[in-house]
Amino acid sequence: AAGVIQSPRHLIKEKRETATLKCYPIPRHDTVYWYQQGPGQDPQFLISFYEKMQSDKGSIPDRFSAQQFSDYHSELNMSSLELGDSALYFCASSLDRGNYGYTFGSGTRLTVV
């Protein structure tokens, strides 16, 4: 079965650079969520989209933005990167706003140096 695809798997950026993470949800899933997991931490919710509209917003810094496109894939754009942005970034997708559970991608490990 198709899963949630995230790219790239690993990314190394320097401070103040920008990064774009991509997420391709499971076909026919209408909701996408982004989570950030710092070292030794539990995943923290950043933002979600339902039917291409922003649905909910968590602890997402103003330097970050995200959108969901017409084909339902989503991109998380991160600017003016800081060392503290180094983390594992997960995307998850669901059908009908999570009423059938969430499926997580394998994550993108971002390292800011």
Partner 1 sequence: GIQVEQSPPDLILQEGANSTLRCNFSDSVNNLQWFHQNPWGQLINLFYIPSGTKQNGRLSATTVATERYSLLYISSSQTTDSGVYFCAVERVNGNQFYFGTGTSLTVIP
Per DSSP, the three-state class of 13 is strand
CB atoms closer than 10 angstroms to residue 96: 10
Give the β-pairing of 108-112 and 10-13: parallel
> Would you mind telling me the total number of residues written for the chain in this entry?
113
- d(CA 91, CA 103) in angstroms, rounded, equals 9
Q: 22 or 45, CB closer to partner 1? A: 45
| Binding residues for partner 1 restricted to 7-66, rule: CB under 8 A | 31, 33, 35, 37, 42-45, 48, 50, 55-56, 58
Q: 13 or 98, CB closer to partner 1? A: 98
Q: Binding of partner 1 at residue 97 (CB under 8 A)?
A: yes
Binding site for partner 1 (CB under 8 A): 31, 33, 35, 37, 42-45, 48, 50, 55-56, 58, 88, 90, 92, 97-104, 106-107, 109
